[in-house]
């Protein structure tokens, strides 16, 4: 089983967030809690459902990641873009994605 993290978009501003070990939504993928077994993945799914029901986040997903060079890397391109930042001008204070991070 691949390692997994819980991601969503914050309801108030749409910014991509990841659930950290303290149960808080964090804007940095590197701070995400990594689920390494089925029970932890189930707990993430339940936490995501509750956060969605409480109108904290939308588009809640458990995604596969791998550790590479000491960093968490989403396996899917869509998630690498979400984690790295926009690829076009987007919102003030949110820079562009690092091309090395987005590359497969």
Cα 62 vs. chain centroid, distance in angstroms?
A: 8
Euclidean distance between CA atoms 56 and 43, whole angstroms: 17
Q: Over 70: is that where the pLDDT of 91 sits?
A: no
**Radius of gyration over alpha carbons of the chain, in Å?**
13
Domain residue limits, the chain:
3-102
pLDDT tens, position by position, 67-85: 999 999 999 999 998 998 7
Residues in the chain: 104
pLDDT tens, position by position, 20-62: 999 999 999 999 999 999 999 999 999 999 999 999 999 999 9
Fill in the DSSP letter of residue 102.
H
């Amino acid at each position: 089983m691949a390692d997994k993290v819980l991601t969503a978009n914050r309801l108030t501003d749409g910014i991509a967030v990841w659930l950290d070990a303290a149960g808080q939504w964090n804007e940095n993928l590197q701070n995400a809690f990594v689920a390494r077994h089925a029970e932890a993945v189930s707990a993430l799914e339940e936490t995501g459902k509750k956060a969605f029901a409480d109108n904290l986040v939308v588009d809640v997903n458990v995604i596969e990641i791998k550790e590479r060079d000491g960093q968490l890397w989403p396996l899917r391109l869509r998630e690498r873009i979400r984690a790295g930042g926009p690829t076009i001008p987007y919102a003030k204070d949110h820079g562009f994605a690092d091309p090395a991070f987005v590359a497969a």
